Amino acid sequence: MPEFLQSRFFDLYWHYFVAGLAVYIGARLTYFFFNSKDKKEEYKNFGNEADFKTPDQIAESKCVEDESEDEEIMPALPANLKHVPLVFEKLPVHETIERSEEFYKFMNMRRTVRRFSDESVPAEVIYNIIKTAGTAPSGAHTEPWTYVLVKSLEIKQQIRQIIEDEEEINYKKRMGKVWTTDLKALRTNWIKEYLTEAPYLILVFKQTYSFRDDGKKKLHYYNEQSVSLAAGMLLTAIHYAGLVSLTSTPLNCGPALRSLLGRPISEKLSLLLPVGYPAKDCVVPDLQRKPLEEILVEF
Amino acid sequence: MPEFLQSRFFDLYWHYFVAGLAVYIGARLTYFFFNSKDKKEEYKNFGNEADFKTPDQIAESKCVEDESEDEEIMPALPANLKHVPLVFEKLPVHETIERSEEFYKFMNMRRTVRRFSDESVPAEVIYNIIKTAGTAPSGAHTEPWTYVLVKSLEIKQQIRQIIEDEEEINYKKRMGKVWTTDLKALRTNWIKEYLTEAPYLILVFKQTYSFRDDGKKKLHYYNEQSVSLAAGMLLTAIHYAGLVSLTSTPLNCGPALRSLLGRPISEKLSLLLPVGYPAKDCVVPDLQRKPLEEILVEF
């Protein structure tokens, strides 16, 4: 037996060594547990620099089964993708100026509406509106959106039930005083008539990933931003067609609605928009929009 | 001395008890460290149900100094906000159908452009475009956006330097094989000529919070979604005016660009969009957009 192990020093102090080793093991285990739970989760917001995950880290966390087999990683787009000339017709400058002004005035007329007429809207209008949202740009052209269009009154009633139940809890128990005070001015509460009044509901789901034809997983970079940006185009198309909408974010209802509508686990509810005509005598909050100098900084 | 402590059992096994206690202490310390670091951070994406934070929790984490003093919480909007009739003119149905179709065809012409002409654009066009983005809806009407418009060549060159340095590192070291393979088809690399070619750069910052006139903190609910949605309207306005753009998300450059442009810590870079006319002989990837049946589900 080595001399050290027989020494008096060892006899006295080996307990401390064991205890120290145990603390270290405990710390590493917990670190590992947290690291795999919090860090390898859903891709976070671009811009949260503190926890920004590079695509490499996403690839690691999402494709670990692919990479461990050392397979060739299939791209989202063919590598030899052809490039074609841009179809573009330059407008005379005065027309560019006029159009920019006309479009601003037009868009400034758009208001969020909370009470709808039940008057029907031809389906092809809604199809065109959704196709328009589908022209939005997206990370690596992944087009990570699913538009669930609900016309059935029965399904709308089920959606309304889910949302109102959840919202009532939110209002009464969970919501901070600040949030409900802020919403008081907009006269919102947990009753959401629009969910059954409006002829259509559009539920916008973001696809966090999808699968290629060959079964390999396809990453959807910046899916949250892409889907929200596309929703901006959707709202614009609704307004351009002469209809109205409400941009709603049903709190905590995502999984229940996903389940009701048969969407896969890879999809998450982003927004819910009723679409149609406004109710007769519809009112809106007398809000002002910030003037240009409050939202613009120039260099 | 209690009989137990003198027992042979105790003599043999107390080391294990100490080791177990040490593991537990190590684990708790690490848990505590992670809990305060990861959980009380920036409000996460709506839709990440696993870590969805209700406004109540946000209020707690952000306004703890207000609430501890038991002050009256000031709302974002006045509680007695007047409501006014909606200004709305119903279009004949055939016009609604025609407009929806025309707008879809028009928006389907929009392409992301990577090479710009340096030909100037009248400033008022860009102002109208930004004002249009400012008409977007936002959580509790917080309008949580700042549009930084860069026309100065010197500042554009500094922006380009920051971004290209970062992107080069990304491409060469950090980016996953999947991401760079995906981007290969789009012929992107770390050289970003558009940053100095285009007459204007619009850097879209999201305000995570702001301060009221009385100095109290104002929460910006869903600021990420609101700003991205507004960016969809910005892109539409750019296209409507007869100009082109590129929706870019400069990786890891947020803090450096925020610093260069003098934006406060409450703001985070969301997007960077060059705006102008396309370069002569500009080419675009020959991409197809998903047909309606691939993005639409009906009930």
- The ipTM, to two decimals, is 0.75
Cβ under 8 Å to B: A residues 84-123 = 84-88, 90-91, 93, 95-97, 99-101, 103-104, 107-113, 121-122
B205 falls in which pLDDT band (50, 70, 90)? very high
What is the distance in angstroms between the Cα of A3 and the nearest Cα belonging to chain B?
A: 23
Tell me which of B225, B249, B261, B275 to substitute to probe the interface with A (most A C-beta atoms closer than 10 Å): B225
pLDDT at site B20: 83
Cβ under 8 Å to B: A residues 122-151 = 122, 124-125, 127-132, 134-137, 139-141, 143, 145-151
CB A256: neighbour CB atoms within 10 A? 19
Which tokens is B191 given?
A: 């050289």
A169/B contact by beta carbon, under 8 A? no
Residue (of A85, A52, A61, A218) closest to B182 by Cα position: A218
pLDDT at site B51: 35
Mean pLDDT of A61-90: 59
Mean pLDDT of A209-235: 91
Rounded-to-integer distance, Cα A251 and Cα B53, Å: 10
B240/A contact by beta carbon, under 8 A? yes
A172/B contact by beta carbon, under 8 A? no
Rounded-to-integer distance, Cα B132 and Cα B113, Å: 21
pLDDT, greater one: B290 or A171: B290
CA A123 to chain centre: 25
Q: Does residue A82 contact residue B219 with C-beta atoms inside 8 Å? A: no
Rounded-to-integer distance, Cα A4 and Cα A10, Å: 7
- Give me the percent of chain B exceeding a pLDDT of 70: 77
Residue (of A253, A213, A115, A256) closest to B85 by Cα position: A115
Q: Residue B25: which H helix or E strand, with range?
A: helix B8-34
- The answer to whether residue A178 scores a pLDDT higher than 90 is no
Highest mean pLDDT among B68-77, B178-187, B250-259: B250-259
Cβ under 8 Å to B: A residues 176-195 = 176-179, 181-187
Contacts of B202 (CB under 8 A, 6+ apart): B126, B130, B147, B148, B149, B150, B234, B272, B273, B274, B275
Q: What is the pLDDT of residues B245-263, one digit of tens each?
A: 999 998 789 999 999 999 9
Domain A111-295 -> CATH class = alpha beta
Mean pLDDT of A131-158: 97
Which positions in chain B touch A54 (Cβ < 8 Å)? 170, 174-176, 251-252
Residue (of A108, A243, A247, A198) closest to B97 by Cα position: A243
What is the distance in angstroms between the Cα of B21 and the nearest Cα belonging to chain A?
A: 8
Q: Which of B95, B97, B175 sits opposite A124 (nearest CB)?
A: B97
B187 falls in which pLDDT band (50, 70, 90)? low
pLDDT at site B18: 79
> How many angstroms separate the first and last alpha carbons of chain B?
77
pLDDT at site B175: 59
Where in chain A are the domains?
Answer: 3-70, 111-295
Rounded-to-integer distance, Cα B32 and Cα B51, Å: 18
Find tokens 């909370």 and name the residue: A114
Highest mean pLDDT among A103-112, A179-188, A213-222, B41-50: A103-112
Q: What is the pLDDT of residues B218-233, one digit of tens each?
A: 888 899 999 999 999 9
Per-chain mean pLDDT for chain B: 83
pLDDT at site B48: 34
Cβ separation B97–A187 shorter than 8 A: no
Rounded-to-integer distance, Cα B239 and Cα B235, Å: 6
Shortest CA distance from B179: residue in chain A? A55
Among A60-69, A245-254, B281-290, which stretch is predicted with the lowest mean pLDDT?
A: A60-69
What is the model's pTM?
0.75
Q: For residue B299, what is the DSSP state? A: -
Rounded-to-integer distance, Cα B254 and Cα B247, Å: 15
Rounded-to-integer distance, Cα A169 and Cα B145, Å: 31
Q: What is the pLDDT of residues B85-131, one digit of tens each?
A: 999 999 999 999 999 999 999 999 999 999 999 999 999 999 999 99
Residue (of B154, B150, B190) closest to B169 by Cα position: B190
B183 falls in which pLDDT band (50, 70, 90)? low
- Give me the percent of chain A exceeding a pLDDT of 70: 77
Which tokens is A223 given?
A: 């899916």
A175 falls in which pLDDT band (50, 70, 90)? low
Rounded-to-integer distance, Cα B217 and Cα A5, Å: 63
Q: Does residue A191 contact residue A159 with C-beta atoms inside 8 Å? A: no
Cβ separation A228–B233 shorter than 8 A: no
Which tokens is A127 given?
A: 């199809």
Please count the residue pairs, one from chain A and one from chain B, whose beta carbons lie less than 8 angstroms apart.
Answer: 501
Rounded-to-integer distance, Cα A66 and Cα A214, Å: 13
pLDDT at site A179: 62
Q: What is the dihedral of CA B21, B22, B28, B32, to 10 degrees?
A: 150
CB B249: neighbour CB atoms within 10 A? 17
> Strand pairing of A296-298 and B145-150?
parallel
Mean pLDDT of A9-30: 79
Cβ separation B124–A97 shorter than 8 A: yes
Task: Report the b/e string of B48-60 with b at 16+ CB within 10 A.
Answer: bbeeebbbbebbe
- Give me the percent of chain B exceeding a pLDDT of 90: 58
- The answer to whether residue A142 scores a pLDDT higher than 60 is yes
Q: What is the 3-state secondary structure (H, E, C) of chain A?
A: CCCHHHCHHHHHHHHHHHHHHHHHHHHHHHHHHHHHHHHCCCCCCCCCHHHCCCHHHHHHHHCHHHHHCCCCCCCCCCCCCCEEECCCCCCCHHHHHHHHHHHHHHHHCCCECCCECCCCCCHHHHHHHHHHHCCCCCHHHCCCEEEEEECCHHHHHHHHHHHHHHHHHHHHHHCCHHHHHHHHCCCCCCCCCHHHHCCEEEEEEEECEEECCCCCEEECCCHHHHHHHHHHHHHHHHHHCCCEECCECCCCCHHHHHHHCCCCCCEEEEEEEEEECECCCCEEECCCCCCHHHHEEEC
pLDDT, greater one: A37 or A288: A288
Rounded-to-integer distance, Cα A141 and Cα A135, Å: 10
Q: What is the pLDDT of residues A25-66, one digit of tens each?
A: 887 887 776 654 444 333 333 333 333 344 444 433 333 333
Which positions in chain B touch A155 (Cβ < 8 Å)? 299
Rounded-to-integer distance, Cα A177 and Cα A201, Å: 30
pLDDT at site B167: 85
B77 falls in which pLDDT band (50, 70, 90)? low
**Burial tier of A23 (Cβ tally within 10 Å: 0-12, 13-18, 19+):** buried
pLDDT at site A154: 98
Q: What is the pLDDT of residues B4-61, one digit of tens each?
A: 666 777 777 787 787 788 878 877 887 776 655 444 333 333 333 333 344 444 433 3
The identity of residue A224, as a single letter, is E
Q: For residue B35, what is the DSSP state? A: I
B260/A contact by beta carbon, under 8 A? no
Cβ separation B96–A283 shorter than 8 A: no
Q: Degrees (nearest 5) of the Cα angle A252, A254, A258?
A: 155
